[in-house]
């Protein structure tokens, strides 16, 4: 019944590029997993069951409902007594709504096949003619059955609360503000919805005042390298970021792992260490994680081309995607993205500046 919603790396990076706070939220949450119901009739019925209930309560009722009716088809539901459905935990109102949907399908008032040619707005307009289907239910149907990519529901409390917390609004977004957010996130509004729901799911809005405070829960250290200031962050005994910055952003909050990291960086820059022995939190998309793990395998003092890396991960045509993953590496030096160069011998780009990449390569060459 359930299938995984495919979230492409390009969608995640596209949404990150739209807004810095959303980027921070995505980086904090990591990858999200969502499922959809391929059968549109079942998906609509599911939306009715889940209306105005906690996920746990709705899931319990839904499972009883599925077990009671062997096949979730319009005719089967219409032939089932209201009393039987009440015993599953459904309210009288929801039973009426579900049977209204079943009748509409039976009478061909809803033609699911035609939805593929209709816009989001046209589908919503069509569905809300059926008593029991409001705009929110129609919007959830677009996301969790039709896999529409640009849905952000102003009727969803979790999304409204998420926006209020993430952007520090004194109250829920006005209609005008909400439309601005929709415009900002487009064409990735559905993905934005997934991450905004994570705010209340993870109790961020109860535990923290803002997204910046979420990141401040990490331990932080600074290291003055020969080529600039490095900020190292750790959480739960794993390194989560190492990046070049212009100036210190936080007070140092050291832990044993960060002290060990600073010692290993000192040894690296003095030419005494070639490999790092540190636990890393590699937290990207599946493709990015695959690339970053491959980068760690590149020997000290050696380089590979973007094509070499693509071949190594079994995707010879992914040279450009490898380059994009390289640019998104949050743990510089330890994950040695500086060791990846162009196939023609050109040094290629580097997020912290090409001059730093040149310095690192020359440094390693000198101590080989």
The pLDDT score that the predictor gives to residue 276 is: 97
Question: Which runs of E-coded beta strand occur in the chain?
Answer: 2-4, 35-37, 219-225, 228-235, 238-245, 304-305, 340-341
Which residues on neighbouring strands pair with residue 230, listed in sequence order? Answer: 223, 244
The residues facing 36 across adjacent strands are 3
User: 199 near 211, Cβ under 8 Å?
Assistant: no
Q: Contacts from 231-234 at CB under 8 Å and sequence distance 24+?
A: 232/258, 232/261, 232/262, 232/265, 234/258, 234/261
**Quick check: helix, strand or coil at residue 12?**
helix
Q: pTM of the predicted model, to two decimals?
A: 0.64
Give Cβ neighbours of residue 116 (< 8 Å, ≥ 6 apart): none
Annotated catalytic sites, by residue? 337
Predicted local confidence at residue 65, as pLDDT: 92
Q: Which of 6, 28, 27, 7 is nearest to 16 (CA)?
A: 27
| Helix-helix angle 157-166:20-29, to 10 degrees | 110
- CATH code that applies to domain 286-366: 1.10.10.10
Q: Of 1.10.340.30, 3.20.20.70, 3.40.50.2300, 3.40.190.10, which CATH number belongs to 2-206?
A: 1.10.340.30
Q: Hey, do 2-206 and 286-366 end up sharing a CATH topology, with the first three levels equal? A: no
pLDDT in tens, the chain (368 residues): 788 999 998 999 999 999 999 998 998 888 888 999 999 999 999 989 988 887 778 889 999 998 998 889 999 999 999 999 999 999 999 999 999 999 999 999 999 999 999 999 999 999 999 998 999 999 999 999 999 999 999 999 999 999 999 999 999 999 999 999 999 999 999 999 999 999 988 888 887 888 887 766 789 999 999 999 999 999 889 999 999 998 887 888 899 999 999 999 999 999 999 999 999 998 788 899 999 999 999 999 999 999 999 999 999 888 888 988 888 898 999 999 999 998 887 888 888 999 999 999 999 999 88
188-222: burial string, b at 16+ Cβ within 10 Å, e else: bbbbbbbbbbbbbeeebbeebebbeebbbebbbbb
Q: According to the model, what pLDDT value does residue 182 have?
A: 97
DSSP 215-284: HHTSEEEEEEETTEEEEEEEETTEEEEEEEESS--S--B--HHHHHHHHHHHHHHTTS-SS----B---S
269 vs 302: CA distance, rounded Å: 16
Q: What is the pLDDT of residue 216?
A: 67
Q: What is the pLDDT of residue 186?
A: 97
| pLDDT at residue 50, as a whole number | 87
Q: Where are the domains of the chain?
A: 2-206, 216-269, 286-366
Termini Cα distance of the chain: 56
């Amino acid at each position: 019944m359930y299938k995984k919603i495919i979230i492409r790396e390009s969608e995640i990076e596209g949404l990150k590029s739209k807004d810095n706070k959303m980027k921070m939220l995505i980086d904090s949450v990591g990858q999200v997993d969502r499922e959809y119901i391929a059968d549109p009739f079942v998906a609509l019925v599911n939306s009715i069951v889940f209306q105005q209930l906690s996920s746990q309560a709705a899931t319990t009722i839904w499972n009883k409902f599925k077990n009671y009716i062997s096949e979730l088809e319009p005719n089967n539901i219409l032939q089932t007594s209201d009393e039987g459905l009440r015993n599953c935990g459904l309210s009288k109102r929801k039973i009426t709504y579900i049977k209204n949907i079943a009748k509409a399908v039976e009478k061909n008032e809803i033609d699911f096949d035609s939805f593929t040619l209709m816009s989001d707005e046209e589908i919503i307009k069509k569905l809300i003619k059926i008593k029991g289907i409001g705009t929110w239910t129609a919007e959830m149907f677009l996301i969790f059955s039709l896999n529409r990519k640009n849905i952000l529901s102003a009727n969803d409390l979790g999304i409204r609360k998420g926006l209020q917390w993430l952007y520090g609004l004194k109250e829920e977004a006005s209609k005008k503000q909400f439309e601005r957010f929709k415009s900002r996130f487009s064409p990735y509004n559905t993905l934005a919805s997934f991450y905004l729901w994570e705010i209340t799911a993870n109790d961020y809005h109860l535990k923290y005042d803002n997204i910046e405070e979420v990141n401040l829960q990490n331990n932080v250290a600074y290291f003055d390298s020969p080529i600039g200031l490095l900020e190292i962050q750790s959480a739960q005994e794993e390194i989560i970021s190492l990046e070049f910055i212009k100036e210190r952003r936080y007070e140092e909050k050291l832990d044993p792992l960060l002290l060990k990291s600073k010692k290993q960086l000192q040894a690296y820059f003095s030419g005494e260490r070639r490999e790092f022995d540190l636990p890393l939190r590699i937290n990207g998309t599946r493709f990015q994680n695959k690339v970053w793990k491959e980068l760690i395998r590149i020997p000290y003092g050696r380089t590979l081309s973007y094509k070499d890396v693509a071949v190594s991960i079994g995707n010879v045509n992914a040279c450009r995607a490898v380059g994009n993953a390289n640019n998104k590496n949050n743990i510089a030096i330890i994950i040695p993205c500086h060791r990846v160069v162009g196939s023609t011998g050109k040094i290629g780009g580097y997020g912290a500046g090409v001059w730093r990449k040149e310095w690192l390569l020359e440094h390693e060459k000198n101590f080989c």
